[in-house]
Amino acid sequence: MSATADHADGKGGSVPSGAPGAATRLGLEAGWIVQEIGYDDDCDDDLRDAIREVTGEEFVDEDTDEVVDVVLLWFREDDGDLVDAFFDILTDLKAGGVVWLLTPKVGRDGYVDASDIAEAAPTAGLATTSSLTVSEDWSATKLVVPKSAGGRR
């Protein structure tokens, strides 16, 4: 696997060139529990497979009783209120955990404007730290609970 895979085109042989690199750029580690919310048939299955390969774990869903290290939230413009979605995911996220908000890229159906994310995050007690392209159709925004908000639960 190349550590320099910058373009996640999702095309190619059995292991697409971009998905493993994108999964690695998400900062995931082996053994981490990943909760996936908002999965639908438009999600990037190559990215999902690469994430499971990095963590060595299957995803858990929103009905889990486990405390999770990472939440993958696939979210589209018509999926409802983003603030509500953020509040819902915080119940299972461990202290110091990470939320990766996956949204369709500009020009794709369901695109979520960056200003909507920037407005919703602090309302839910989250801070946006970075954004990156993870596939041909999806962007990822990393959100964390600021250390100063440690007593949120």
Q: Which helix (H) or strand (E) holds 118?
A: helix 114-123
Residue 124 to residue 100: CA distance in whole angstroms: 14
Q: Would you call 29 helix, strand, or coil by DSSP?
A: coil
Query: What is the pLDDT averaged over residues 101-126?
Result: 96
Comparing 139 with 15, the larger pLDDT belongs to 139
pLDDT for 18: 60
pLDDT bin (cut points 50, 70, 90) of residue 149 is low
Instruction: Give Cβ neighbours of residue 122 (< 8 Å, ≥ 6 apart).
Output: none
67-99 pLDDT, tens digit each: 999 999 999 999 999 999 999 999 899 999 999
Q: How is residue 133 written in tokens?
A: 């392209």
Residue 139 to residue 79: CA distance in whole angstroms: 16
pLDDT for 20: 72
pLDDT above 80 for 15: no
17-56 pLDDT, tens digit each: 466 788 889 999 999 999 999 999 999 999 999 999 999 9
Share of the chain above pLDDT 90, in %: 78
| Global pTM value | 0.84
Mean pLDDT, the chain, rounded, equals 86
